[in-house]
């Protein structure tokens, strides 16, 4: 199934391919708590940036592996390159125009990221 999404001002729009039922992740790390990011990690080939490349700015911290991308206009973070899956992309489910029919949400202890990161490493592999 294809889902469309965007930042708040719609300067950045994207499309993803995902199943009707998705497994999202709620993380309690400092940046996710402050930004309200609800994660759905998928392979990069299931993501298409439709508009807004010139409106994206990137923030990196700590190891510099994760690339937190934000809209320069409205400040919303619709997706980013996650440290746990640098070959994939992490979509903010809250930025999808239409929610999946069903969604399971699992908690991830991002405050203790190093201890749990291995449990996320497979999420950018091809999903059916």
Phi, psi of 8 (to 5 degrees): -65, -45
Give the pLDDT confidence of 104-125 residue by residue, as tens digits.
998 888 888 778 778 887 777 7
* pLDDT grade for 127, boundaries at 50, 70 and 90: low
Q: How far apart are CA 60 and CA 105, in angstroms?
A: 26
Residue 81 has pLDDT above 90, yes or no: yes
Domain boundaries, the chain: 2-120
Q: Are 90 and 82 in contact, with CB atoms under 8 Å apart?
A: yes
Give the pLDDT confidence of 43-80 residue by residue, as tens digits.
999 999 999 999 999 999 888 888 999 999 999 999 99
Give residue 43's pLDDT: 96
CATH classification number, 2-120, choose in 3.50.50.60, 1.10.287.110, 2.170.150.70, 2.60.40.1230? 2.170.150.70
């Amino acid at each position: 199934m294809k889902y469309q999404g965007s930042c708040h001002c719609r300067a950045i729009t994207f499309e993803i391919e995902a199943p009707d039922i998705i497994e999202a992740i709620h993380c309690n790390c400092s940046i996710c708590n402050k930004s309200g990011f609800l994660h759905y990690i998928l392979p990069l080939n299931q993501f298409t940036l439709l508009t807004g490349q010139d409106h994206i700015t990137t923030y990196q911290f700590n190891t510099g592996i994760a690339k937190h991308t934000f809209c320069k206009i409205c400040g919303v973070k619709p997706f980013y390159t996650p440290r746990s899956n640098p070959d994939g992309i992490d979509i903010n489910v809250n930025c999808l125009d239409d929610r999946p029919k069903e969604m399971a949400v699992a908690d991830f202890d991002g405050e203790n990221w190093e201890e749990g990161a291995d449990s996320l490493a497979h999420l950018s592999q091809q999903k059916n």
